[in-house]
């Protein structure tokens, strides 16, 4: 009777899997701060109050974060940030 073959988890990324992205340009301290506050589900206005800046400043930092992470939405930004260990 043949012995069953042992199954093991594949070593390295699975075929077709992508590795976490790398940042071409690092986030500034303020951008990291805004990113972490975005993860807490605060609105831009609430983040502005928390940081004592204008809402437009928060939006500007948010756009910069999205650009550096190569994303278009808050959810995408948070997913990539988690993959990179930023939050």
pLDDT value of residue 2: 55
Q: Residue 23 has what pLDDT?
A: 82
**Domain spans, the chain:** 29-84
Which fold, 29-84?
Arc Repressor Mutant, subunit A (1.10.10)
Angle, alpha carbons 27-87-31 (nearest 5°): 25
Residue 27: CB atoms within 10 Å: 19
Q: Which pLDDT value is given to residue 12?
A: 46
Model-level pTM?
Answer: 0.74
Phi, psi of 76 (to 5 degrees): -60, -40
Per-residue pLDDT of the chain (87 residues; tens, 9 = 90+): 655 555 554 454 455 545 556 788 899 999 999 999 999 999 999 999 999 999 999 999 999 999 999 999 999 999 999 999 999
Residues in the chain: 87
**C-alpha angle 48/87/51, rounded to 5°?**
15
Q: Would you give the DSSP letter of residue 70?
A: T
CA 86 and chain centroid, separation: 7
């Amino acid at each position: 009777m043949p012995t069953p073959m042992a199954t093991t988890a594949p070593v390295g990324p699975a075929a077709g899997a992508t590795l976490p992205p790398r940042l071409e340009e690092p986030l500034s301290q303020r951008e990291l701060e805004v990113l972490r506050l975005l993860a807490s589900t605060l609105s831009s206005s609430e983040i502005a109050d928390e940081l004592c800046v204008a809402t437009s400043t928060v939006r500007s930092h948010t756009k910069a974060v999205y650009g550096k992470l190569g994303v278009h939405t808050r959810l995408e930004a948070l997913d990539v940030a988690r993959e990179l260990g930023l939050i």
